[in-house]
């Protein structure tokens, strides 16, 4: 099986997973495509950097031959499948209430700081030390 064949099967499996199996219908939402455009920009930068330096080398017989920059087009299809699978499962699990309650253990610092009550000296209402009336 060539890289191209595997990637095309992955894209088909992704569409089926989203629209038929999990029914999250991410591929029909504008918000998905907006988020994916952001991911795609960074994928372009990363793929260009990795393939231009020879970190990844592709057998010309295993790919179509079309390239975006120095990366084969199959890399972008593979990235689409990975991102979409991750997001589809995330939405599916979220709809089923996975980890709806807060996990046990210490609260994150951001939550602690946001919910912290200010403690002023006894008998005062502010930092300036003015007395309560």
The single-letter DSSP state of residue 28 is G
71 bridge partner residues:
68
Query: Where exactly are the structural domains of the chain?
Result: 3-98
* Beta partners for residue 131, in sequence order: 124
pLDDT 10s per residue in the chain (133 long)? Answer: 677 888 899 999 999 999 999 999 999 999 999 999 999 999 889 888 887 777 777 767 767 777 777 778 888 889 999 999 999 999 999 888 776 666 676 666 666 666 666 665 666 655 555 555 5
Q: Are 59 and 2 in contact (CB under 8 A)?
A: no
Threshold 0.75, pTM exceeds = no
d(CA 86, CA 24): 12
């Amino acid at each position: 099986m060539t890289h191209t064949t595997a990637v095309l099967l992955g894209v088909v499996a992704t569409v089926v997973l989203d629209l038929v199996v999990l029914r999250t219908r991410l591929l029909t939402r504008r918000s998905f495509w907006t988020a994916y455009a952001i991911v795609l920009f960074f994928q372009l930068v990363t793929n260009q950097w990795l393939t231009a330096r020879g970190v990844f080398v592709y057998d010309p017989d295993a790919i179509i031959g079309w390239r975006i920059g120095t990366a084969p087009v199959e890399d972008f299809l593979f990235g689409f499948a990975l991102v979409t699978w991750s997001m589809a499962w995330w939405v599916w699990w979220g709809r089923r209430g996975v980890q709806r309650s807060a996990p046990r253990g210490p609260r994150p610092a951001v939550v602690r700081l946001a919910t912290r009550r200010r403690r002023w000296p006894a008998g005062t209402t502010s930092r300036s030390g003015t007395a309560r009336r």
